[in-house]
Amino acid sequence: MRCPYCLATDDKVVDSRSADDGVAIRRRRECLVCGRRYTTYERIEELPLVVKKRSGLVEPFDREKVLVGVRMAAANRPAVDEAIAIALVGSVEEQLRAAGPEVNSEEVGLAVLDRLRDLDDVAYLRFASVYKGFEDVADFEREAQLLQERRVLEKKTEPKRHPTIQR
């Protein structure tokens, strides 16, 4: 670390504390040459997340591109407003970053589909139709049937609730 006043590289840390809600570390330093104090911030540098396309091309992950796809699928759907769409994309990005610095485009699409399935059936089917490349009505019917079967299975596996006693 260079002192901003005399450009010396000898300093000592006087105080350290968390900053920016734990995203950074704030350090007060004292230059051992000129004696002046200054503040530095340390932040974790995130590794770039890249997506490997089906064609073999590799491009940086673009959360805006995913958000546009979610917005289009959820257009005029009350269950998926802008805040929910942004949160969905954030959780997808978090999942992908945990998987490593390079992911397949298929992983991105499946992560979005998993979240949309839980939020809104119509938005899920819209996204699936583009992502999976539906070619005719039979593709929609098949996917809707799978979605319906999943809903029935989820209801069967839900824990049974005991009715509350009303007084």
Model-level pTM?
0.64
Collapsing DSSP to helix, strand or coil, 100 comes out as coil
The reported pLDDT for the residue numbered 167 is: 39
Distance CA 24, CA 41 (A): 6
**Pairing of the two strands 24-31 and 58-60:** unpaired
Q: How confident is the model at residue 155 (pLDDT cuts 50, 70, 90)?
A: confident
Strand ordering across the sheet containing 50-52 = 58-60, 50-52, 102-104
Average pLDDT over residues 39-68: 92
Only one residue has tokens 């949160």, namely: 87
- Residue 28 CB neighbours (<10 A): 14
> Percent of the chain having pLDDT more than 90?
71
Query: Which phi and psi angles does 80 have, rounded to 5°?
Result: -125, 90
Distance CA 89, CA 131 (A): 16
Average pLDDT over residues 127-134: 90
Residue 166 has a pLDDT of 44
Q: What is the pLDDT of residues 61-95, one digit of tens each?
A: 999 999 999 999 999 999 899 999 999 999 999 99
CB 17 within 8 A of CB 26: yes
